[in-house]
């Protein structure tokens, strides 16, 4: 994204400059491997952007930026184990390339380094950022547990699902923006509205991610398409289809999501046919727009943000929600 180009170059260089220990190799090499796979770096870029629009010092904002990227990748490393995912950003996941025990321990040390990085902040913002970080980290764990519980539950509602993705995904985006604002000395109310902007954009982002998991391509998205269906993830698409389909088709869909046999490709094709019959993609697109509109209402409430700053984050919301990768 062009508006992030300068921040991205700055962040990537500082990430390179961050020196992880050289040994034991088996602990730190998988960390370097995952970080070097790249990614869009959305969360750290939001920290830097939020700091800059409030005239903050980027050399201070880099610490929560590095911390959220370290945390995000830690969560991905463990999430891939739990989902039995083979690909991450088009390359083998850490537990596939190395082994599960390595991925667990290397993920743990990434979380520790996230906290070590935050300790570099000056005292006037350190405590507040750590509190924001702690709240976010616990919520992400709660969201992940909800996601796993849903796989075995037959009574998940759309509201349950939206709460789960709020915790698992979007609070990290909100916390990134809030920490950037805090480091820059923004007013508490402005930090709050920026957090709410990020949280609601994050929900729309996850709905888009669900759409891409079903309707994207492996080449563009960098992971196996249909993974949510194969893993019986009760996404918005699934839950809305259950609500809209006839009794017989709904029963067929629920039966497919109980199937863990060898015919996964056929299962994905059948589920997609049922999704098409229910027209759920249209509903998902509308839901995305609802959360985007809510996010923009919070953005307009940020009193200390100049029109240029608001336009910057509006562009970000458009980019994140309309993306095809």
Joined together, the tokens standing for residue 54 give 């409030």
The reported pLDDT for the residue numbered 57 is: 95
The reported pLDDT for the residue numbered 221 is: 59
Averaged pLDDT of the chain = 92
Percent of the chain with pLDDT over 90: 77
The answer to whether the bond into 7 is cis (omega within 30° of 0) is no
Tell me how far apart the alpha carbons of residues 232 and 259 are, in angstroms, rounded to a whole number: 8
Tell me how far apart the alpha carbons of residues 294 and 183 are, in angstroms, rounded to a whole number: 25
Joined together, the tokens standing for residue 199 give 């949280």
Range of the domain at 43: 2-322
The reported pLDDT for the residue numbered 152 is: 83
Joined together, the tokens standing for residue 80 give 């891939």
Tell me how far apart the alpha carbons of residues 287 and 268 are, in angstroms, rounded to a whole number: 23
How is 208-229 classified by DSSP, letter by letter?
HHHHHHHHS-HHHHSS-TTHHH
pLDDT band at 73 (very low <50, low <70, confident <90, very high): very high
Closest CA to 236 of 266, 262, 204: 204
Q: What is the CATH number of the domain that holds 151?
A: 1.10.600.10
Q: How far is CA 155 from CA 161, 166, 168, 210, 231, in A?
A: 11, 19, 19, 20, 17
Number of H helices and number of E strands within the chain? 17, 2
pLDDT band at 226 (very low <50, low <70, confident <90, very high): confident
3-class SS of residue 91? strand
Tell me how far apart the alpha carbons of residues 24 and 133 are, in angstroms, rounded to a whole number: 28
Joined together, the tokens standing for residue 49 give 């952007």
The reported pLDDT for the residue numbered 263 is: 67
Provide the 8-state DSSP code for 305. Answer: -
103 CB-contact burial (10 Å; exposed 0-12 / middle 13-18 / buried 19+): buried
* pLDDT tens figures, 227-277: 889 888 899 999 999 999 999 999 999 999 887 665 678 899 999 999 999
Q: Is residue 101 a contact partner of residue 89, using CB atoms and an 8 Å limit?
A: no
3-class SS of residue 92? strand
- C-alpha 222: how far from its chain's center? 15
Q: Is residue 62 a contact partner of residue 48, using CB atoms and an 8 Å limit?
A: yes
What is the number of domains present in the chain?
1
The reported pLDDT for the residue numbered 3 is: 62
CB count within 10 Å of CB 316 equals 22
Does 55 have pLDDT greater than 70?
yes
């Amino acid at each position: 994204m062009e508006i992030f180009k300068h921040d991205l170059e700055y962040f990537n260089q500082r990430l390179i400059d961050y020196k992880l220990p050289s040994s034991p190799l088996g602990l730190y090499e998988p960390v370097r491997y995952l970080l070097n796979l790249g990614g869009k770096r959305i969360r750290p870029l939001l920290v830097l952007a939020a700091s800059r629009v409030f005239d903050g010092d980027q050399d201070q904002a880099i610490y929560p930026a590095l911390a959220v990227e370290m945390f995000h990748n830690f969560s991905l490393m463990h999430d891939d184990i739990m989902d039995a995912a083979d690909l991450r950003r088009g390359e083998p996941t850490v537990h596939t390339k190395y082994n599960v025990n390595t991925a667990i321990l290397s993920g743990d040390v990434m979380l520790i380094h996230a906290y070590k990085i935050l300790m570099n902040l000056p005292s006037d913002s350190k405590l507040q950022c750590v509190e924001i970080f702690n709240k976010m980290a616990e919520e992400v764990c709660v969201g992940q547990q909800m996601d796993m519980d849903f796989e075995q539950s037959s009574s998940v509602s759309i509201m349950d699902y939206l709460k789960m993705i709020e915790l698992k995904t979007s609070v990290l985006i909100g916390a990134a923006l809030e920490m950037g604002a805090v480091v820059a000395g923004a007013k508490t109310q402005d930090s709050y509205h920026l957090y709410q902007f990020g949280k609601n954009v994050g929900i729309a982002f996850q709905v888009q991610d669900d759409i891409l998991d079903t309707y994207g391509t492996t080449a563009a998205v960098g992971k196996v398409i249909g993974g949510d269906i194969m893993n019986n993830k009760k996404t918005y698409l699934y839950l809305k289809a259950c609500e809209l389909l006839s009794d017989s088709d709904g029963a067929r869909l629920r039966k497919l999501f109980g199937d863990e046999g060898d015919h996964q490709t056929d299962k994905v094709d059948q589920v997609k046919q049922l999704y098409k019959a229910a027209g759920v993609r249209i509903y998902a697109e509308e839901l995305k727009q609802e959360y985007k509109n809510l996010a923009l209402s919070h953005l307009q409430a940020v009193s200390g943000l100049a029109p240029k700053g608001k336009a910057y984050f509006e562009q970000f919301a458009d980019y994140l929600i309309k993306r095809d990768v």
